[in-house]
Amino acid sequence: MPKAKSTYPEIEDIREDLDSLKTNVVELTKHLKKDGSEHSAEIKDMAADRYAALKASGEKQLKVVEKRVKQKPVESIGIAFAAGLALSMLIGRR
């Protein structure tokens, strides 16, 4: 059934503008969804890279600590004891 022509041409222009706006909003939504998924993939990759770097750094620092403990075991035990005692005192006060 064809649309009835309005006696006011402005109303038809408004209808056309609304249809165009609807189409544009749908297209914009599609683009935002696509861009959002691409951006989230980039963030995921950056987070994975950062995690790998932090993990490597942590492993390197752990090896440094292990080496120092092997070089000076008595000093390491004393430091660990003092740290444990201090932590125990701090927790006990709460």
pLDDT digits (tens, 9 = 90+) for 33-86: 887 777 888 888 889 999 999 999 999 999 998 998 899 999 999 999 999 999
Helices 73-92/9-71 angle, 10° precision: 130
In this predicted structure, what is the pLDDT of residue 4? 53
CB neighbours of residue 57 within 10 Å: 10
In this predicted structure, what is the pLDDT of residue 56? 93
In this predicted structure, what is the pLDDT of residue 94? 64
CA–CA separation, 22 vs 10, rounded Å?
A: 18
